[in-house]
Chain A
Amino acid sequence: MMETLVYIALFAPFAGSLFAALFGMGKRQVFVGIVASALLFISFVASVMLAIYVVKTGTPIHVMMMEWINAGDIRIPFGFVVDQVSVTMMVVVTLVSTVVHIYSIGYMDHDKSFNRFFSYLSAFVFSMLVLVMSDNFLGLFIGWEGVGVCSWLLVGFWYHKPDQPREVNPSISPSWAANEAFIMNRIADLGMLIGIFIIYWNTGTLQYDEVFAQLPYLPQWILDAAAIALFIGAMGKSAQFPLHTWLTDAMEGPTPVSALIHAATMVTAGVFLVIRANPLFAMTPEVSFFIAALGTFVAFFAASMALVNRDLKRIIAFSTLSQLGYMFAAAGLGAYWIALFHLAAHAFFKALLFLGAGNVMHAMHDELDIFKMGGLKKVMKWTYLYMGIASLALAGIPPFAGFFSKDAIIETAFNEGTYVLWIILVVTAGMTAFYSFRQVFLTFWGDERYKQYGIHPHEMYKFVLVAMSPLAVLAIIAGFFQPWFHEFITTLLPDYEMSHHTHELILVLTAIVLAFAVGGIALAYKMYAKGLKRDPKVENSFIYRLLANQYYIPQLYEEMISKPYAMISEALWQKVDLKIVDATVDTIAKFFYYTGDGVRKMQTGNLSNYLNWMAVGGVALLVVAALSAVIG
């Protein structure tokens, strides 16, 4: 019974994808979107039933679908495990995906590749479910690559758009952004693959439980190497510095994709990997501390870039980056359950935020510059409400979801005695509040700047707004489940409790974080609520330009990596490929050509000559036979 549910949860999206693919190249058919959404809803229901089962019994469900690789000593079954961690991910993924699917029916309304979009979207959810449900590292890797491919397909969904210079469009074009995302992930995936090799080489298995059982018997340096290699993979998927540039560029994809893949689910795969492999990371404190430090750095680094950005979706993308940093900070400090809790809470409000941004984009005819918006709350009441809720949650204002999860992470940093991390995270919380509300105020408050661009915004379809409501509700109430979630998840994940000392200070700590968050909002209100006042002196200052250009990192990558790489490739093509590889192959071909041409003269057409040749052949065979008889 439970096994059937596992398969339903896993394969319903796959069926949806195949179904939509049948109509992939055809005309827009609304029922394709409806069927795909319905199948995802089924998957969601199955996931919830599994969650209830796991909560009730506390025992994970382990199913083995088939023997997969059986060669010599290698034995890798294709199995799935539904335990506390994966069931949490399943519920989050399928819930957000269902909402995004229904949302897409409205959002992709006018797109001629409507059916194709649903095929990709459902395929993505299937890959993500394989990733989270697999009971071994190889299955995880398949899902990992699957979501990478789907991300590539979806970021480049509007592949027909032409390339533009970086000054006009920082992501250049959808197909460029898609390639960037894919290639950066490939680089990181190599690390991941090496990590898997190290694990297999030393433990002889890839099943999570068997691997973790063997970890205490391995030398420290192997553990470190495996942890580092796996984390490199996580860095790519979760867009951690220095592999972060793809995430903001991936905003070239349709907005539901940004909501589903680049905010709520796929980018959290890296965090999921660290949480899943927590026994490994718990045994490598140096690597874990590095993860925490890098996460904190990225949290601050991404938030700083969001402060000055003008692109609605990019601001949210930077905030995603920043929140992923928070999650890694928590995971690195050993608070795995807090990281997972923030992951789930973040998925809800970030998806909501992105879908709200999609509504705005839809209303503004694909205009994303918040300097050209303003005053939209009059025409888009519901979207304003949703984005307000999501921004409050993101800013960490109680009682919204983000408050509980983010506050717990910041407390963890304090509790661990890593005060530098704590200070950075607190400051970042203030910055988060500032940029979220800068965006809300610039979009929805103040003067109606869109009028001078001749745009007539309108609210999104009603069913879309209704579909978004579960996310809004969860963004408000998810935080209250924290104690319950804690109890549930720590039956599998290691518990993390604040020390007595932290407990006493908890009110002060919360007050400090809140003060920063409220201060950020107040500052944003003062600067932007009345309308947009641009100060050329500030905008031309070095720091502003540095932040607006993403620290010039994309340019740096272009100059230091892409261009030299292109030069080396060009040289290798001209010198090695053409002169050595091709030349060798050509020589072989020419040899046969010229010998053939030479022997052609044998064909005189005169039967007598042929008979002579035949006799020569016969004599030659006789000689060979005689010689071999004499020798052998």
Chain B
Amino acid sequence: MIGLEHYLIVSAILFSIGLVGVLRRRNLLMLFFATEVMLNAVNIAFAAISHYYNDLTGQMFAFFIIAIAASEVAVGLGILIVLYKKYGSLDLDDLASMKG
């Protein structure tokens, strides 16, 4: 039987994968993918817990997150395209211009 803890474990694993992606990747596009993975990890946790408590609020929240993630990607990709046109690269090591 697949219980709540299984969902949560999947969610945690997915989140960790996303986090490692955010931390290790140098390419901005990859960073975006990694954040998407993390967001969807959270969505899984929301949906699972929502079902567990018989409360639809969590699932509603998951939809919200999906909607926000979609708009974020739309805006973010736009910015990435502009960045690529300007610098010819999406590698973070090449984009460091504000050194303290």
User: Which residues in window 563-610 of A have CB below 8 A to B?
Assistant: 600-608
Residues of A within 8 A of B93 (CB): 606, 608
Q: Is the CB of B92 within 8 A of A608?
A: yes
Q: Is the CB of B96 within 8 A of A612?
A: no
* Interface assignment of A611: CB less than 8 Å from any CB of chain B: yes
* Interface assignment of B4: CB less than 8 Å from any CB of chain A: no
One digit per residue, 1 when the CB lies within 8 angstroms of any chain B CB and 0 when it does not, for chain A 601-625 equals 1111111100110010000000000
Residues of B within 8 A of A604 (CB): 96, 99-100
Checking B92, B99, B100 against A607 with a beta-carbon cut-off of 8 angstroms, the contacting residue is B92
Number of interface residues of A (CB under 8 A): 12
Q: Is the CB of A608 within 8 A of B100?
A: no
Closest to A608 in B: B92
* Interface assignment of B75: CB less than 8 Å from any CB of chain A: no
* Interface assignment of B95: CB less than 8 Å from any CB of chain A: yes
User: Which segment of B19-27, B54-62, B66-74 sits at the interface?
Assistant: B19-27
B29 to chain A, nearest CB (A): 13
Residues of B within 8 A of A612 (CB): 23
Q: Is the CB of B100 within 8 A of A611?
A: no
Q: Is the CB of A615 within 8 A of B100?
A: no
Closest to B26 in A: A608
User: Which residues in window 21-68 of B have CB below 8 A to A?
Assistant: 22-23, 25-26, 28, 31
Number of A-B contacts (CB under 8 A): 34
Q: Is the CB of A605 within 8 A of B23?
A: no
Residues of A within 8 A of B28 (CB): 607
B30 to chain A, nearest CB (A): 11
| Known interface pairs A608-B92, A608-B93; A603-B100 also in contact (CB < 8 Å) | yes
Q: Is the CB of A607 within 8 A of B95?
A: yes
Closest to A607 in B: B92
Residues of B within 8 A of A606 (CB): 92-93, 95-96
How many Å lie between the Cα of A603 and that of B98 in the bound state? Answer: 8
Q: Is the CB of A603 within 8 A of B23?
A: no
How many Å lie between the Cα of A483 and that of B12 in the bound state? Answer: 107
Checking A603, A608, A615 against B99 with a beta-carbon cut-off of 8 angstroms, the contacting residue is A603
Residues of A within 8 A of B95 (CB): 606-607
Q: Is the CB of B98 within 8 A of A611?
A: no
Q: Is the CB of B22 within 8 A of A605?
A: no
How many Å lie between the Cα of A615 and that of B28 in the bound state? Answer: 17
Closest to B34 in A: A611
Residues of B within 8 A of A600 (CB): 100
One digit per residue, 1 when the CB lies within 8 angstroms of any chain A CB and 0 when it does not, for chain B 82-100 equals 0000000000110111111
| Residue among B26, B28, B31, B100 facing the most chain A CB atoms (10 A cut-off) | B100
Residues of A within 8 A of B23 (CB): 608, 611-612, 615
Checking A605, A611, A615 against B96 with a beta-carbon cut-off of 8 angstroms, the contacting residue is A605
How many Å lie between the Cα of A480 and that of B100 in the bound state? Answer: 90
One digit per residue, 1 when the CB lies within 8 angstroms of any chain B CB and 0 when it does not, for chain A 358-397 equals 0000000000000000000000000000000000000000
How many Å lie between the Cα of A601 and that of B99 in the bound state? Answer: 9
Residues of A within 8 A of B96 (CB): 604-607
How many Å lie between the Cα of A606 and that of B99 in the bound state? Answer: 8
| Known interface pairs A611-B23, A615-B19; A601-B92 also in contact (CB < 8 Å) | no
Q: Is the CB of B22 within 8 A of A615?
A: yes
A265 to chain B, nearest CB (A): 67
Q: Is the CB of B98 within 8 A of A605?
A: yes
B24 to chain A, nearest CB (A): 8
| Residue among A601, A606, A608, A615 facing the most chain B CB atoms (10 A cut-off) | A608
How many Å lie between the Cα of A411 and that of B95 in the bound state? Answer: 103
How many Å lie between the Cα of A612 and that of B31 in the bound state? Answer: 12
B18 to chain A, nearest CB (A): 11
Residues of A within 8 A of B31 (CB): 611
How many Å lie between the Cα of A605 and that of B100 in the bound state? Answer: 7
Closest to B91 in A: A608
B45 to chain A, nearest CB (A): 16
A425 to chain B, nearest CB (A): 84
How many Å lie between the Cα of A612 and that of B26 in the bound state? Answer: 12
How many Å lie between the Cα of A572 and that of B43 in the bound state? Answer: 69
B31 to chain A, nearest CB (A): 8
A595 to chain B, nearest CB (A): 14
Residues of A within 8 A of B92 (CB): 606-608
How many Å lie between the Cα of A17 and that of B88 in the bound state? Answer: 76
Closest to A601 in B: B100
B41 to chain A, nearest CB (A): 15
| A-B CB proximity, top 5 nearest | A603-B100, A605-B96, A605-B99, A606-B96, A605-B98
Binding site for A on B (CB under 8 A): 19, 22-23, 25-26, 28, 31, 92-93, 95-100
Can you name 20 extra interface pairs (CB under 8 A) apart from A605-B98, A607-B28? Answer: A601-B100, A602-B100, A603-B98, A603-B99, A603-B100, A604-B96, A605-B96, A605-B99, A606-B92, A606-B93, A607-B92, A607-B95, A607-B96, A608-B23, A608-B26, A611-B31, A612-B23, A615-B19, A615-B22, A615-B23
30 A–B contacts, CB within 8 A, in A order: A600-B100, A601-B100, A602-B100, A603-B98, A603-B99, A603-B100, A604-B96, A604-B99, A604-B100, A605-B96, A605-B97, A605-B98, A605-B99, A606-B92, A606-B93, A606-B96, A607-B28, A607-B92, A607-B95, A607-B96, A608-B23, A608-B25, A608-B93, A611-B22, A611-B23, A611-B31, A612-B23, A615-B19, A615-B22, A615-B23
